[in-house]
Structure 1
Amino acid sequence: MLDANLKEQLKAYLERITQPIELVASLDASDTAREMEELLSEIATLSALITYERRDDDARKPSFAIHRTGTAVGVRFAGLPMGHEFNSLVLALLQVGGYPSKTAQDVIEQVQALDGDFHFETYFSQSCQNCPDVVQALNLMSVLNPKIRHVAIDGASFQSEVDGRQVMAVPSIYLNGQPFGQGRMDLEQILAKIDTGAEARAAEKLKHKAPFDVLVVGGGPAGAAAAIYAARKGIRTGVVAERFGGQVLDTMAIENFISVSHTEGPKLAVALEEHVKAYEVDIMNVQRAEKLVPAKVPGGLAEVHLKNGAVLKARSVILATGARWRQMNVPGEAEYRNKGVAYCPHCDGPLFKGKRVAVIGGGNSGVEAAIDLAGIVAHVTLIEFDGKLRADAVLQRKLNSLPNVKVVTSALTTEVHGDGSKVTGLSYKNRDTDELHRVELEGIFVQIGLVPNTEFLKETVALTNRGEIEIDHRGATSQPGVFAAGDATTTPFKQIVIAMGEGAKASLSAFDYLIRLAPVEGEVKAA
C-alpha cells in the first residue's frame, strides 16, 4: 500500500508519538476494505506504540478509528484517507499519540472549554484541496475535547450516504445529524460558529489594540507581501483577514509561480502565513471588514470597522481584499448552490462520477475544468458566451480530442432548473438566433472569472464600474494614506506573482507616506 520511501518518512514522523494508540477497523468484503486493512497493518509495523485490531464494531464499513489506548481520545475515518487526506491521517496519528499541536494556546483552550455534545461528520473527496483544513480542524477538536467526536467520510466510498443526504459539494459538514457547513473552514471559523460568545470576546479584545502604523486588510498574496515589507521596516503592522490565504486556498495547481515549477494553493497559503508570522505582525484572522473611515487629515488615524463591532485604527491602510468567484446571477443559481451548482471542479468533481454536467465559461479555467471533469463524469457540456473559446490553443486541442465533451458557443445561460433539492438542468439562449435550449444534467460548474471584494468601500475610495479599486503607479488610492494591491485593484493580469509584487509596492509606498508626514497635534505615533 505504501512505497518504501513513504514508509520511511511516516516511520520518522511516528517516532514523535508518546502515548500508545490502537487502530481499530470495521471492514466488509470491498476492495477498499482490503486496502484499508493493508494500510493499517503497515502503519502498525512502524511503531512499537501502535497496534492494529479488526473488530467490525462500527456500522459504517469500511472504516477505522484511531484511539489513545485506555482513553476516550480518538478520531475515525470512513473510507481511505489518501490523496490530499493522507496528511490528515498522519496528523491524526501524531495528535492522538500525544504529539502537541502547534495551534495557538488560546484557541486550544477555547476548544477545551466547549460544553455540549458535538458529533461531527465530514464528507470529503481525495482530490479536494479544501477538505483537509476541515478534517484536520475537527480531528484536533475531537482530540482536545472528549465531548467532541468526528468521523471523516470519503464520499466516493459511501455513495449511498452521499445520495441520501444529497451531498453535492465537499467538504460538507454535519453536526449532530444536521447540516453545519460547506466549503473550506479552518479551526477558528468552526469555533466562531459553535462558540456563541466567541465574536463578542474577539471584539472586546480587538477594540483595545493600539493604533497601527500600517494595517493591511486582506490575507492573500498581496496582503502577506505588504505585511512582510511593512514589518521589515520596524513599524507596527497588523493584518485583518476574513481567511488568511484568500483565493489561493481555492487554487489547485500553481505552475507559473516563478522559481517554483509546481505547487498547490493550500501549500502556498501555509507558507505565506508562516513567513508573515516570522515577523512581528499582529494577525487578526476570521475578521470581516465592513467599513473604512479615512483619516480626516493627512497623518491622522483611519478606522477599519469590523463585522463584530470592533474598530481598528491605523496611520495608513493597505487594501488587499482580493476577489471571489463570479456568479452567473440567473434564476436558480443561488437556490441550488452546493446542490448541483459548484465552483470548484477539483473539489466537487468526484461527486458527479458517471453523471452529466455543464461548465460555464470558455477561458483557461473553464476549459481546464471541462478536461478534468471529462475523465470522471459521463458527459460535459461547455457553454461559452463569446463566439469562440478564449482558452490557450493547447487546452482547446486537448478539449476537442475528448469524445464526451460538447462545446456550445454564443450562448447565454438563462436559468438553472431543479426539483427543489438538486439540479436537474439548465437553459441557455443562442445569442445568434435567440432560440432557447434546455440541457438535462445533474451538475453545473461556474468558471467565469472573479469579482473584487470591495462592496464595503463604495463611496469611500474611487472604484471602477467593475468594482475595482482605482490606484496609481505607486498603489495609492483616492484617499491619502490609503493604498491598495492585488486582485481587488485596477492592476491588470490577476496573477499571484503580480499580486505579491503589488503588495510589496503598496507597502513601500505606505512607508514612504509615513516618513514624510508632519506630526499631527493630539495624536501620538504608535510604538
Structure 2
Amino acid sequence: MLDEGLKQQLAGYLQRVTQPFEIVASLDDSAAAREMHELLTEIAAMSDKIALRSDGQDARRPSFSLQRVGSTSSLRFAAIPLGHEFTSLVLALLWTGGHPPKVEQSVIEQIQALDGDFNFEVYMSLTCHNCPDVVQALSLMAIFNPKIKTTVIDGGLYQDEVKARDIMAVPSVYLNGTHYNSGRITVEELVAKLDTGAAARDAAQLTAREAYDVLIVGGGPAGAAAAVYAARKGIRTGVAAERFGGQVNDTLAIENFVSVMETEGPKFAAALESHVRAYDVDIMNLQRAKKLVPASEPGGLVSIELENGGVLKSRSVILSTGARWRNVNVPGEQEYKNKGVAYCPHCDGPLFKGKRVAVIGGGNSGVEAAIDLAGIVKHVSLLEFGEQLRADAVLVAKLKSLPNVTIYTMAQTTELTGDGNKLNGIRFTDRTTNESKHVELEGVFVQIGLVPNTEWIKGTVELSKHGEIVVDAKGQTNLPGVFAAGDVTTVPYKQIIIATGEGAKAALSAFDYLIRTPAPAAERSAATA
C-alpha cells in the first residue's frame, strides 16, 4: 500500500507513540475497504502500541476510528487518508498515541474546557491543499475533548453524501448535522467560535500589553520578513495577523521562490510562521484590524484598534495586510458561493468531475485553472473580458491544445444563474456583437485577480486609485512612523519574493525611523515609571 520510503518515514514517526490505542475498522466487501484494511495492517505492524480490530459497526463503510485505551475520544476517518491528507493521518496517530501537538498550551486548555455535545463532520478531497488544516484542527479537538466527535469524510469516496448535501466546495464542515463552515479555518478560529467569551478576554489582554517598537499588521510573506528583520535588531516586535501566511495559504505550487525549487503554499506559510517564532516576536493570530489612529506627535504611539475591541500601540507600524481574491460582482455570485461558485480550482475541482464548468479570467491564474480543470471535468469554458488572453504564451498554447476547452474573448459576465439551490449556468455579453449568451454548467471558478485589504484605513493613509497604499522607495507612507509592504502597496508585481524583500526593507526603514526619532518626553517617563 505504502511505498518503502513512506513506510520508513511513518515507522520512524510511530516510534514516538507512548500510549497504546486501537484502530477499529468498519469494513465491507468493496475495493476501497480492501485498500483501507491493507493500509491499516501496515500501520499496526509498525508499533507494538497499536492494535488493529476489524469488527467495527459504524454505518459508514469503509471507515476506521482511533481509540485510545481508557479514553472515550472519537475520531473517525471515512477515508483512505493519503495524498494531501497523509500528514493528517500521521498526526492523528501520534496525538492519539500521546505525542504532544505543536499547539499553544492555552489552546489545548481551551479545547478541554469546551462544554457541550459537538459532532463534527468534515468533507474533504485528497487533492485539496486547504483541507488538511481543517482536518487536523478537528482531529486535535476530538482527541483532547471527549465531548467532541469528529468524522473525516472523503467526498470522492462518499459521493452519495456529497450529492445529498449539495456540497460543492471543500473543506465543508457540519456540526450536529447542520452546515457550520466552508473553507479553511484554524484550530484557534474553531475554538474561538465555540468559546463565546474568548473575544472579550482576548481584547482585554491585548489592550493591556506594553507598547511595541514595531507592530506589524498582517502575517503574509511581507509581514513575516518584516518581523524577522525587526526582531534581529533587538527591538520589541509584535505581529497581529488574521491568519499567518495570508494568501500563500491558498496557493498550490510555488516554483519561483529563489533557492526553493518547489513547495506548496500551506507548507511555505507554516515555514514563515516557524521562522518568525524562532525569534522574540509576539505573534497575535486571529486579529483583524479595524482602525489606525496616527501618533499625535513625531515619535509618539500609533494605535491599531482591532475588531474584537482590543487596542495595540506601537512607536512604528508596518502595514502588510495583503490582498484577497477579487469578486466578479454580478447577480448570483454570493447566492451560489460554495454552491457552484468557487475560487480554488485545486481544492474544489475534483467535486466537479465529469461536469461542465467555466473559468472567469484570462490571466495566468485563469488559464492555469482551466488547464488543471480540463483534466478532471467534462468541459471548460474560459471567459476573458479583453480581446485576447493575458496569460504567458506557453500557457495559452497548452490551453488551446485541449479538446474540451472553449475560449470566449470579449466576454463580459453579467449573471451567474441557478435554480435557487445551486448554480446552473453563466450569462455573458459578447462585447463585439452586444449579444447576450447563456452557457449551462455546474460550476464557475472566479480567477480575476486581487483586491488590496485597505478598506479599514481609507481616509487615514494615502491610497492609490486602485486602493493600494502609496509608499516611497523606503516603504514609508504619508504618515510618520507608518510603513507598508507587500501586495497591499503600490509596489508593482505581486510576487512572494518581492513581498518578502519589501517586508525586510520596511523593517529596516522602521528601525531607522526609531533611532532618529526619540519618543516624546511624556512617553519616555511613562515607560520608565
Specify the TM-score bucket, using the shorter chain as the normaliser. over 0.9
CA distance, structure 2, for counterparts of residue 423 and residue 519 of structure 1: 57
- Equivalent in the alignment of 1:425: 425
Counterpart AA for 1:75: L
Does the Cα contact within 8 Å between 1:74 and 1:96 map onto a contact in 2?
no
- Equivalent in the alignment of 1:218: 218
Matched, 1:190 2:187: no
How do 1:121-270 and structure 2 match up within 5 A? 121-270=121-270
How do 1:453-468 and structure 2 match up within 5 A? 453-468=453-468
Counterpart AA for 2:5: N
Cα root mean square deviation, aligned:
1.0
Counterpart AA for 2:154: D
CA distance, structure 2, for counterparts of residue 349 and residue 95 of structure 1: 31
Shift of 1:74: 3.8
- Equivalent in the alignment of 2:492: 492
Give the 3-state SS of the residue equivalent to 1:272 in structure 2: helix
Does the Cα contact within 8 Å between 2:417 and 2:423 map onto a contact in 1?
yes
Q: Deviations over 1:462-482 (max 9, x none)?
A: 001111000000000011100
479-488 or 67-76: which moved more?
67-76
CA distance, structure 2, for counterparts of residue 526 and residue 72 of structure 1: 51
Q: Deviations over 1:247-304 (max 9, x none)?
A: 0000000000001110000001110001000111000000100000110111000100
Counterpart AA for 1:494: K
Aligned residue pair count: 527
CA distance, structure 1, for counterparts of residue 488 and residue 519 of structure 2: 31
Shift of 1:432: 0.8
- Equivalent in the alignment of 2:82: 82
TM-score, length basis structure 2:
0.99
Does the Cα contact within 8 Å between 1:236 and 1:526 map onto a contact in 2?
no
List, as ranges, runs of 4+ consecutive aligned residues in structure 1 with deviation greater than 3 Å.
none
How do 1:443-454 and structure 2 match up within 5 A? 443-454=443-454
Shift of 1:404: 0.7
Does the Cα contact within 8 Å between 1:68 and 1:74 map onto a contact in 2?
no
Identity of aligned residues (%): 66
Unaligned 5+ runs, structure 1: none
How do 1:288-303 and structure 2 match up within 5 A? 288-303=288-303
From the superposition, tell whether residues 56 and 519 of structure 1 become closer, same or farther in structure 2 (CA, over 3 Å): closer
TM-score, length basis structure 1:
0.99
CA distance, structure 2, for counterparts of residue 99 and residue 520 of structure 1: 50
Does the Cα contact within 8 Å between 2:74 and 2:148 map onto a contact in 1?
no
Does the Cα contact within 8 Å between 1:174 and 1:180 map onto a contact in 2?
yes
- Equivalent in the alignment of 1:106: 106
- Equivalent in the alignment of 1:347: 347
Does the Cα contact within 8 Å between 2:73 and 2:147 map onto a contact in 1?
no
CA distance, structure 2, for counterparts of residue 336 and residue 296 of structure 1: 46
CA distance, structure 2, for counterparts of residue 196 and residue 519 of structure 1: 39
CA distance, structure 1, for counterparts of residue 527 and residue 14 of structure 2: 46
- Equivalent in the alignment of 1:406: 406
- Equivalent in the alignment of 1:41: 41
Matched, 1:18 2:18: yes
- Equivalent in the alignment of 1:475: 475
CA distance, structure 2, for counterparts of residue 508 and residue 493 of structure 1: 21
Does the Cα contact within 8 Å between 2:73 and 2:148 map onto a contact in 1?
no
Give the 3-state SS of the residue equivalent to 2:521 in structure 1: coil
CA distance, structure 2, for counterparts of residue 41 and residue 424 of structure 1: 44
CA distance, structure 2, for counterparts of residue 420 and residue 249 of structure 1: 31
CA distance, structure 2, for counterparts of residue 27 and residue 390 of structure 1: 50
CA distance, structure 2, for counterparts of residue 382 and residue 438 of structure 1: 13
Give the 3-state SS of the residue equivalent to 1:157 in structure 2: coil
- Equivalent in the alignment of 2:30: 30
Counterpart AA for 2:36: M
Q: Deviations over 1:469-502 (max 9, x none)?
A: 0000000001110000000000000000000000
Q: Deviations over 1:288-333 (max 9, x none)?
A: 0000011011100010000011111000000000000001000110
CA distance, structure 1, for counterparts of residue 519 and residue 471 of structure 2: 26
CA distance, structure 2, for counterparts of residue 401 and residue 283 of structure 1: 48
Shift of 1:50: 1.0
Q: Deviations over 1:185-227 (max 9, x none)?
A: 1111111111100101101111100100000000000000001
Counterpart AA for 2:218: G
Shift of 1:453: 0.4
Shift of 1:82: 1.0
- Equivalent in the alignment of 2:378: 378
CA distance, structure 2, for counterparts of residue 496 and residue 286 of structure 1: 22
Shift of 1:56: 4.1
CA distance, structure 1, for counterparts of residue 369 and residue 290 of structure 2: 33
Shift of 1:69: 2.3
